[in-house]
Structures are given as C-alpha cells and as structure tokens.
Structure 1
Amino acid sequence: MSEQTSVVGSVIETVKTVVYALLIAGIFRTLFFQPFWIPSGSMKDTLLVGDFLFVNKMAYGYSYASCPSIKIPAVGLDIDAEDFCGFAKGGNDRLWGGDPERGDVVVFRHPVTGTDFIKRLIGLPGDRVQMINGVLQINGEAVALVDEDPFIEPFGLQGPQNSPTRCENGTVGPGADCIKSRRTETLPNGVAHSILSITDNGPGDNTRVFTVPQGQFFFMGDNRDNSNDSRFAQTARGVGFVPYEDLIGRADRIMFSSAGTSMLKFWTWRSDRYFKAIE
C-alpha cells in the first residue's frame, strides 16, 4: 500500500469517527438529556446566571420540541428543532407523554420565538391563577409565604449577556450589596421554593385572573420582578400560556456553575453549587 493511500485511509477513518460521535451525541441529546446554561436572573435564587444543568427529556415524553437545536453564531450555523422535526408540530401531544407536576422547573420553547426558556410550572390546565400585591393566588387561594433572610449579591453585570442586577435598595455602585426580599412559597401540592422580589407593586404583581386552557400551562420565574413569563401577553418577550408540545424537559440538578462571563475563568467557579438538586 502506498503512503498516499494510507493517508487517505487515515483521513476517512477520522471523518467516520467524527460522524459517528456526532450521531451518538445527537441521539443522546434528542432522547435523554439536553445541556442548558442559565443566561439570565429570572430564576434566582433557585438558579443563578452561569449555572449549567442537563434537562431530563424523558420526564414528559417526546414531541417536536425534543429535537435538538444547533446554534453556532460564529460560523453562521442556526438549525432549529422545527428544521429537524417540524413535521410533528401542531398536534399538542407527545410520544410516551408524562404529566408535568406543579412546581417543576421546566425548559420549554417560547411559543412565538422558539427560544428555550426555563421557568417554574405554576398553573395546570383548568387552574385560575392571579397575582395580588405580589402574592400568588391559585384557584382563589393565596399560597403560603414565609419571610426569609434577604438575598444579597454584588451589584454588577452578570454572565455572557452582561445582564445588570436589579436591587430593592435602589441604585448602588459596582460591587456594592444588591438586596432583594426573599420568601419561601409553598404551592398547593406542597412544593416549597424560594422567591425573590424588589417590590409588591411591579408590572407583574397585580394581574387579572388567568384561566389555564386545556393542554396548556402557566409558568413564572422565581425572581418575580425580573421575569418575562406567563403573566405577560404572548409576544416576542411575554410568554403567555405554553402548549404541552412545547415542553422540552425537567431540570433536576445543577452540574456546574460559574459566576464569570466565561467558564474558562476558573476563579469564578461556584463549587458549592456542583451537583446541587433543583427544588
């Protein structure tokens, strides 16, 4: 065998190995788990900017939204889940579908833009949901709230998006204490979780009564005054009601966390959050 033939054979084997690896990774990501970075502070303090987790796709079964999206802006690659599986969209059903539970932290596709969002499931089909003076009401009953120590973080820009922190104590200087009120909220099924607020009179703190349609769900962020969610009309920013078929999966555990603008800045890693269960 000539040296040239050997080189060609080596290149072919390398290409085959890469293709097989991509196929295996694609199947794994489609059927089992999808990686997700937390880009914004809408779920503080349950999830912080820079938390990294895997979304359990097996929790609710499979729909078109289970297909992966591949976005690499640096090379102009933008392949959406609908490009792969758009033929399955529109039935609002799922293969081996499972029922989400109130209080689950869920990754879903935004009904308008298709962007991946992560929020807490608050309202099930048929529920009546309302906010009154910052207190969540479900089916006419206020949820139980317990005051906790305030959430304090340094004021500044966070994450790759350079998102500014918002503070209950007003405008403070870079690095100064940014304070938010923190309470434990207990949902009707007993799920207790932390919520943050900077006011009880913000845009989403007093709402009409939302009656959740069949086959759809109502989501809210735990950082109540910094979350575009189902309290706001279904636009490119507001979420509105989310169809069953748009659910991607449940977030169960944080795997890694970095407080910096890049995971390569090891001095910003939050080791106390590794493998932390999401409640």
Structure 2
Amino acid sequence: MTYASNDVRPSPPRAAPRLLLRMSAACALALTAGACSGLDSLNPMNLFGGDKYKTEVVKDTPADQLYDQGLARLKSKNYDGAAKTFANLDKQYPYSQWQRKGLLMTTFAQYQNGSYDDAAGSAKRYIGLYPNAPDVDYAYYLQAMSYYNQIPDVSRDQERAAKAADLFQQILDKFPKSEYAEDARYKLQVARDQLAGKEMMVGRYYLNQRNFIAAVGRFREVLAKYQTTRHAEEALMRLTEAYLALGLPQEAQTAAAVLGHNYPDSVWYKDAYALLKTGGLEPNEDKGSWISKAFHLG
C-alpha cells in the first residue's frame, strides 16, 4: 500500500516561534475574542493552504487488474499506455512474479511502440534481474531486435549492428533450442553482412587513396570476422589488387587462388585472374600465407 503523506508532520520552520509570538501579542491588544480566531489559520503549517494536513491511504490497484488493463491497451494498440500500465506492476509489486511479468510486458509494449532504446533498456534490466527465467531468451530477442530495427545504412556508424549481432549470437550460444534461434541465425547473418559492408566501404576508400596498407587491414578484417558474408569474395579480389600495388605478388597470387578455390564462378575471381594476367602472373596459393590459413585450404 502507498500513502498520500507521512504520519509524522515535518518540523515547522525556525522562524515560526517569532511569528507565533507576534500573532499572540496582536490578539492580546485586540478587545474582542474574535480577533484571535484567525490564529490557527496562520499556523506556519497552513501558510500555503487552508486545509488540515491529514493522512490518506491510497489503495494500490490489484495486480491482476493492472495486468488485464495493460493487455486491453495492447489489444487496442495503445502501446504507450500499455507500457506505462505494465510499468506500474513493476513499481507496485517488487520482488514478485507480477514484477517479472510487468517488466517483460513493458519491454514488449515499448518495442511495439517503436520506442526501441527504451525497449532495449528494459530488456537489459530484465536479463539482469531474471537471468534464469524461462522466458529470458525472449528478452534477449527483444533487445536484439530493438537494435536490429535501428541499423542504419552502411555509410553510417554501425554500433547498433554490432550490438544486434552480439545479442543474436548470444541467443544461439545460450539458447540453441529456443524458438527464436532460427530467426536469430538469419538476422545475425544480416547484421554481420552490414558490418562487413562497412569495412569494405572504408577499405575501398583507402584503396582509392592509394593507402594500400590501410586498405589491406580493412579487407583482412572482413576475412577474419565476416568470412561467411557475401563481401568475402570482393575482399579477396581487393587484396589481390592491393598486394600487387604493394609489390607483394605472392600474396596477391594467394588471394586470387583462394578466391578461385572457394568461389570459382564469382565475377570477382574473373577480375582477380585478369588483373594477375596483366602482370604475367597466375593464381598460386602459398599455404603459409595468412589468407590460406584463414580459409583452411588443404
């Protein structure tokens, strides 16, 4: 239960005794008893209002009623109202199953409302409070999706893509049999592809600026972290190009050989092969190269 006020009145301000003495003196000078009738109303406790200070008990709404109200608002697509209603369960019934239900439903309502940052925060709190709850995988999924739905185009910062990828991977690692695992696996690939695309964009920029060492670093990152994405083919071709420009033909030949072995029908392999031919070279794998080891070629 909550209370509208405290049972104990706060102490009056320090100036109050002087004020009361002045008011008493004024009453003594008055010839009529009615002149002091206003003394009580000028009590320093009542200077800003004429009502008596009283204690009032405010009853909490029963938990099941709050939950049903939240569900009704969800049904009517009043997601903001639903989130606030479920949040009251969290506040009014701490350390209970109603708090757990309220927090998860708050997360869901915020997500449905498009309040993704709020949903991600609520999901994170749920995971922290209830790491072993039977539905904690759903909290992970809602948090991941909150970041996933905010992934920007590849030209912008990809922090949300990285957070989404990390959470989807956690779902696969911690809850491999979860009903959300299949969708998490697909969306993980999408997020990783976005991250690889960002690396490729920066790598191409360095390549155009003839900063070949920096370009190699970006393309190497793609092969190290995002080898299963569609960008791996182009990364191998760009490595062929960058290593030739750096005067490292053996690395260029290895990149082209690995590209041809893994993606024989790729247009990027045709480009890499043609590029080597202009220098009188052919694809040739050096099994000691980091490129060969990255792809585990036999």
TM-score, scaled relative to structure 2: 0.25
From the two aligned structures, give the one with the greater helix fraction: 2
Bigger proportion of residues as strand:
1
TM-score scaled by structure 1? 0.27
Q: Which of 1 and 2 has greater Rg? A: 2
